[in-house]
Amino acid sequence: MSAAFFDLMRNVLTAQYLRVNDRSTSRERVNLRERVRLEDGKRKEYTVRMPFEGDAFTVKLDINGGSNPPLYHFLMENDGRPWAKRCDFVVFHRLPSAIYCYLFEFKSNYINAVDIAAQLDSGVGWLNSFHRILHNYTSETFPLAVQKFALTANRDLGPFVDETGKYLKHDPTVRLYHYQELTDLNLADLENRHVMEFRCQ
């Protein structure tokens, strides 16, 4: 059942939003690559590749770095409407027991906690809508386990994290990672104590 719904999600998404996995090594890896704006206005590219067991695919929501086509063509995106925001990536990961969805926002040294939380929450809104659209039109569904992550190049996270040193103080459901911490980290080993579950009745 999980495999059928996972394939349905992958097969109905527009190709321009899907990203190809890296198969250059013995273990297939999700391949997340993003050009991040620095404080001086220049951009720097960050790449994260994570191996996985099971099956996985990646959706790039922010495909044009701010000049994106609407996610919902029937909704206006002007005046700062919340659905106009988007996180960078949503990774769908199927294991035998569950389907996991990891939302990622890439940042440089500069951290704006309010913006990070808003972009990831908008990603959660998109994912919840996508999940329900499939159920409404096909009657198919499967629970999704959803987690939020922000990646940064900043080594001094003290002002931004809670007492654990891992979670965003402004929104403790967001797990912060330095890019180097994710080098060849298995998808299933991502740590986040806050897991949302999406179900359609």
Query: What percentage of the chain exceeds 90 in pLDDT?
Result: 63
Coil, strand or helix at 197: strand
Mean pLDDT, rounded, of the chain: 89
DSSP tag of 171: -
pLDDT digits (tens, 9 = 90+) for 109-124: 888 999 999 999 999 9
| Residue 16, burial from CB neighbour count under 10 angstroms (0-12, 13-18, 19+) | exposed
| Residue 166, burial from CB neighbour count under 10 angstroms (0-12, 13-18, 19+) | middle
d(CA 45, CA 63): 14
**Which range, 1-10, 64-73, 92-101, is most confident?**
92-101
d(CA 180, CA 183): 5
pLDDT (mean) for 84-97 = 91
* Confidence tier at 79 by pLDDT (50, 70, 90): low
Say if CB 139 and CB 156 are below 8 A apart.
no
- In this predicted structure, what is the pLDDT of residue 189? 95
pLDDT (mean) for 86-106 = 94
* Confidence tier at 201 by pLDDT (50, 70, 90): low
168 CB contacts (<8 Å, ≥6 apart)?
113, 116, 117, 150, 160, 161, 162, 174, 175, 176
- In this predicted structure, what is the pLDDT of residue 66? 59
pLDDT (mean) for 135-153 = 94
How, if at all, do strands 18-19 and 55-60 pair? antiparallel
pLDDT at 152 over 80: yes
40 or 195: which carries more pLDDT confidence? 195
Range of the domain at 112: 2-198
pLDDT at 64 over 90: no
158 CB contacts (<8 Å, ≥6 apart)?
165
Coil, strand or helix at 80: coil
The total of structural domains in the chain comes to 1
| Residue 26, burial from CB neighbour count under 10 angstroms (0-12, 13-18, 19+) | exposed
Q: Which of 113, 120, 99 is nearest to 198 (CA)?
A: 99
Q: Which of 76, 71, 167, 164 is nearest to 117 (CA)?
A: 167
How, if at all, do strands 144-152 and 89-95 pair? unpaired
**Residues paired with 46 in a beta bridge:** 34
pLDDT at 80 over 90: no
* Confidence tier at 161 by pLDDT (50, 70, 90): very high
pLDDT at 55 over 80: yes
